[in-house]
Structure 1
Amino acid sequence: MNEELRDELEAINSIYGDGCLVPSNEENIYILTPPGESSSLRIEFPPTYPAVPPVVLGTNSTGEHGRRGDAARELSLFCQALSTTYEPGAVCLFDAIEELTRLLELSVPEEPQEEDTTAPENTADTQPASQVTVDAKDINTREPPWIISDPFIEQKSTFVARCATVTSTEEAEAFVQYLLSTDKKVRTATHNITAWRIKGPNNTTFQDCNDDGETAAGGRLLHLMQLMDLWNVMVIVTRWYGGHKLGPRRFALINQTARDAFVKAGLVSENPNKKKGAGKS
């Protein structure tokens, strides 16, 4: 195992959990279990990788909870993801896994639907699999008091953040559902990453986040709010994918966009070293 592959293996397992990428009993062959997927793949890393690309040998295991056809679909999409992300001389597995996640979201097979009397009348709108449209009568119909960031654009990907003050997790969840059910452009975006921090009665606190398919982005967004000491606030960062992989740079853009919304809402100073309401020395 060369040094670059060793570093990549450690990075992949630290991001997605131990066991995501492990060596097999065969030389230069590893088992990749993409996060959230039922099957695992056999991948060969030639000794000269990353000067030459890895080779996908096939499915290793279909997983006990996998549905018929899932393994073949995931194998085909991973090969597609690898072909679009590999560049000679650069490790590519992180970007390939992220691209696989995006492709799987776009290609979720349709299943026979049971009768659902609460389904919205307009079913023509396409939505990412991780998002759910909720009938307006089932949610808080009061429009959230959004403060919206400037759009941040890089290589045709666009990021926009919305923040609002909230007093309960129920209110935060209702605000998310209101946005998704009333704004088609947001609803059909590639990702809607959310985070909130709320102080309740009796010194109880509530913190939560949702990656919406952008692995680790929600946790980073929540960590930003912790560093800023923000409470009773929620934020949604929407990303429209522009066709170019941004790599780790996208995390900086997500947080930068969120921070712009916090600044516009008066929740944090323009000075990045000064916390909102800090009065602490």
Structure 2
Amino acid sequence: MLTLDNIISDRGSKYAVSGGPCATAEEAAAFLKELKRKKKFAKATHNTWGVVTADGPLKNDDGEAGAGMVILRMLEREGVQGHIVVVTRWYGGKHLGGDRFRHVQEAVRVYLEEAGLT
């Protein structure tokens, strides 16, 4: 599991991104369970994720409507399969509007570069 913490901060909201190998829905659930063993991530406002498996794409917005699809589109565009990416957000008290999607995209881009998947 690779985790990049505090990569984006905007109007009090903070973002982190994590990822690792994942081939099934069960492995995605296990990955999230492991990530949330860290109290900081368990208390996050949103843990949105996406993964492209052999059976097709899987995603979860975790209350951040549309964020899972943003992650999936980026993974599909880069041809990344069998690798989950989780974007975590701690809400800072001010709505970000459409900027939140740009932050999700930036978090995924940083992760893919750091993990050598681009």
Alignment of 1:198-213 (within 5 A): 198-199=53-54, 205-213=55-63
Residue 260, structure 1, aligned to residue 110, structure 2: yes
Runs of 4+ that moved beyond 2 A: none
Alignment of 1:1-281 (within 5 A): 146-149=1-4, 151-180=7-36, 182-199=37-54, 205-268=55-118
Q: Which residue identity does 2:27 align to in structure 1?
A: E
- 2:53 match: secondary structure: strand
- 1:152, 1:159 within 8 Å by CA — same for their partners in 2? yes
Provide structure 2 residue ranges, at least 5 long, that are not aligned to the other structure.
none
Q: Which residue identity does 1:160 align to in structure 2?
A: A
> Offset at 1:178?
1.8
- 1:263 match: secondary structure: helix
Alpha-carbon separation, structure 1, partners of 2:23 and 2:89:
26
- 1:149 match: secondary structure: strand
> Offset at 1:162?
0.2
Higher relative CO (CA 8 A, sep ≥ 6), structure 1 or 2?
A: 2
More strand per residue: 1 or 2?
Answer: 2
Q: CA RMSD in A?
A: 1.3
Q: Which residue identity does 1:178 align to in structure 2?
A: E
Q: Which has the larger radius of gyration?
A: 1
Count matched residues. 117
Alpha-carbon separation, structure 2, partners of 1:149 and 1:179:
12
Provide structure 1 residue ranges, at least 5 long, that are not aligned to the other structure.
1-145, 200-204, 269-281
- Give the % identical residues: 32
Alpha-carbon separation, structure 2, partners of 1:170 and 1:245:
33
Q: Which residue identity does 1:225 align to in structure 2?
A: L
